[in-house]
Structure 1
Amino acid sequence: MNYEEHFDRSAQLRSNHWKSIGNLHPDVITHLINPAFMGGPEWPSTRQAFVIVDTPSGTVLSSDGLSDPYNDFNENPDNQAYNGVGCEFYIECDENLGDFDAIKSSWQFSVVYQAAQLAAGNPNIASIIEEHTYVSTELYHCTVPDSFLNEHGRVGVLFGLKSNQVPAEVELSLETIRLVNVTLLTKAELDYITEKGGEARMEIARKLEALPTAGKSFLDRQSVV
């Protein structure tokens, strides 16, 4: 298959996956002007989109395009084995986020958007997550309450928690990719990881996965440290 065929097949497989979990909205969240044209990170096929999935227990927002085949697929043999960066990033909510405009302006979308842009700028992100299982990082420009922000105005998130409803992988046209959960951290959890490092990150991940709400992000969750 050529680039266009792999692109279409991968898109269909992703859609089928999300439809198996809930109601996949027909419209995606995207840009009028691609940020890559204005100095932002370039996604594999340049297409930057996010899908909305309503489930019986809330809403899932996921990047849709980080696992597209690379747009130089036909000319570059080095990229012919990969579905982009090998990941899509999603945030899982315990509520229905409302209509399309409300979702675009939600704090949840701001978090998953910044996580996806971070991943687009780090094409080795899949191997990093595979090596460490859980990855913590800080994101800029997230519209969460100030109580979640550190002194630099960044919010902490954890990549890689297991979800009770979203499988960790999905097979696409070229390879099996990761579906990476993005979990919002409290400031206390972020500070704990910043101070104590990798062992603290693993401890928090284990405690979060033990919760009935494992994998979900919400503002009134009690800190686990």
Structure 2
Amino acid sequence: MKTALITGANRSIGFEATRQLLKLGYYVYLGARDLSKGREAAEQLKSEGLTNVEAVSLDVSSLASIKEAREQLGQKINALDVLINNAGILGGMEQPALTADVNVVREVFETNYFGVIEVTQSFIDLLRASAAPRIVNVTSGLGSVSLQADPHWKYYQVKTAAYGPSKSALNHYTIVLAYELRDTAFKVNAVDPGYTATDFNHHSGPGTVEDAAARLVRLATIGEDGPTGGFFSDDNNPKTGISPW
């Protein structure tokens, strides 16, 4: 049975991605900063008959928490097939360039960028042990420098001094990581789930968590002929599914 770890998976898109992978036959480790909430989420899935799920305490902004989660999983599995770096924070709705609280900017980067690096580095040995490892970094159209500079883009007016730049950095890291793993069985991609109605944005988005999660799962389960080092977004480019960096 293939295994997957999803960070920030106790609610919204991460929770739905967990559900969809379970339906595909994966055993999913549901990462949650608050273990009690993670266990509640896991119990809900089990009540739906999706029993191959286990909550894991994992705060991506804490290296100690990441290391502890790695140690726990290492006692249960010899290989990890899928890592979805989903956990992320917004940092508030107003982030002007000239007045943004730099401490908030640092906090956003700690979770959205540095956390991804530390989780990936900590679990890379388990991923290397998989015959077909997949890494999905959950990004955003707001992290596309090309789109942010395009006055004709539908979200051009949405500018953030913390969140968008943290996802731009994540996109660049995805490129570097995919390049480093180019001659292996790894597939590493950045996926924009789209503007989705979740707690993250006070349910203001037009998209559904089901569609958003399906985008992550599609890239998490691609075959050996699938892409790597790409930035995918059905929301920004529904025809090709490829987003400009």
With normalisation by structure 2, the TM-score equals 0.25
- Structure number with the higher helix fraction is 2
TM-score under structure 1 normalisation? Answer: 0.27
